Structure 1
Amino acid sequence: MTKWRKSSYSGGVNDEACVELARLGQGVGVRDSKDPNGPHLDLGSRAFGGLVARIRRGELDL
């Protein structure tokens, strides 16, 4: 069973940008916490690290 956890940067139940993360074998799963039965992204560890770095640098329009 996959154990998902809400990002510490999510603002609460009414936050429009809530994500959950889970360890998946060699990488990380990312999903919308408002749609836990919906699709999720499977990212390798390196790709996930790159995504986090780009978010921190403000390179993405979130």
Structure 2
Amino acid sequence: MSDRARSPHALAWFKSSYSGGNTTECVEVAVAGSATVLIRDSKHPVGEPIAVPPEAWADFIASLHGYPRL
């Protein structure tokens, strides 16, 4: 099955470790193959996720920690 053919609902989604049990502002992330990271609103998991390349996701995470990505 190609990366594009996989349903986002069948993927393993992860929440931030900073998300509490009852938090209402949370995003979830899933890796859809080697070329796509999916991001969705945990309050609306059936909605269309945002797809970004892994490099863009790595840059975003690095910026949160204050590190430049090499």
TM-score by length of 1: 0.71
4+ runs deviating over 3 angstroms = none
Higher strand share: 1
Q: 1:45, 1:30 → 2: CA distance?
A: 11
Q: CA RMSD in A?
A: 1.5
Deviation sequence 1:5-42 (CA, Å, 0-9, x none): 22212122x32321111111122111110100112111
Provide the residue aligned with 1:2 in structure 2.
11
Q: How does 1:12-51 map to 2 (within 5 A)?
A: 12=21, 14-25=22-33, 26-51=35-60
- Report the count of equivalent residues: 56
Share of identical aligned residues, percent?
A: 41
Provide the residue aligned with 1:60 in structure 2.
none
Please say if residues 18 and 33 of structure 1, whose CA atoms lie closer than 8 Å, have aligned partners that are also in contact. Answer: yes
Matched AA of 1:18: C
Q: Which sections of structure 1, spanning at least 5 residues, go unmatched?
A: 58-62
Structure with the greater alpha carbon radius of gyration: 2
